[in-house]
Amino acid sequence: MTSRFLLQIDDIDLISANMENAMASIGGFCCGRSFVIDHQRLSGQGYCFSASLPPMLAAAAIEALNIMEEDPDIFRVLREKSSRVHQALSGVPGLRLVGEAFSPALHLQLQRSSGSREADMQLLRGVVDHFFAYFRAAGTRWGPAPSRCLPLCASVWRGVWP
């Protein structure tokens, strides 16, 4: 992200990321300036064992990192698929696409509500059912009433967009 937004790494106090979406695991990491990390280390001592990553999920995260290091081309493939998904879905009548073309995480929103949250969610679930063969997709069922959106995630491993 630093290169994407033309930031110097020295201008950032803390960098953190989670492993949940990209690595099929849980938890995450943080790194940064010593004064921030020292504070975290001191404040987090009580959580070290109660909130630590289970060994099986740690192994899954390590294997995901190994795969990423061994085959960096998967990121190019993912960007290409993400772009195709973005392009294909950006012209769907009645839906608004939110997200960057390079990102595998997109949100489809209804341009107009039918007036019924249940009907809106049923429509979005139908969209999920239709596209599930090509993409991993999940529809949110929470959030305030105005939020009617459908998060989608293009996958490196499944299917090719027609």
All structural domains of the chain with their residue ranges: 9-70, 73-153
Place of tokens 């995260």: 61
Q: Is 157 exposed, middle or buried (0-12, 13-18, 19+ CB in 10 A)?
A: exposed
Contact (Cβ atoms closer than 8 angstroms) between residue 19 and residue 28: yes
**HEC string for 50-95:** CCCCCHHHHHHHHHHHHHHHHCCHHHHHHHHHHHHHHHHHCCCCCE
For residue 162, give every residue at least 6 positions away whose Cβ sits within 8 Å of its Cβ, in sequence order, or none: 134
Contact in structure between 77 and 159 (CB atoms under 8 Å): no
Q: How confident is the model at residue 125 (pLDDT cuts 50, 70, 90)?
A: confident
- Of residues 15, 66, 41, 46, the one with CA closest to residue 74: 66
- Number of residues written out for the chain: 162
pTM of the model: 0.59
Task: Please write the tens of the pLDDT for every residue from 16-31.
Answer: 888 887 777 887 778 8
The per-residue pLDDT for range 78-108, each reduced to its tens digit, is 899 889 888 888 888 888 888 888 888 778 7
User: Which residues, including other chains, have CB under 8 Å from residue 13's CB and lie 6 or more apart?
Assistant: 32, 33, 36
- Where is pLDDT greater, at 39 or 143? 39
Beta-strand relationship, 136-137 and 105-110: unpaired
Cβ proximity of 89 and 97 under 8 Å: yes
Whether residue 69 is predicted with pLDDT greater than 90 in this model: the reply is yes
pLDDT level of residue 42 (50, 70, 90 thresholds) = confident
As its CATH architecture, domain 73-153 has: Alpha-Beta Complex (3.90)
Q: How much of the chain, in percent, has pLDDT values that exceed 70?
A: 76
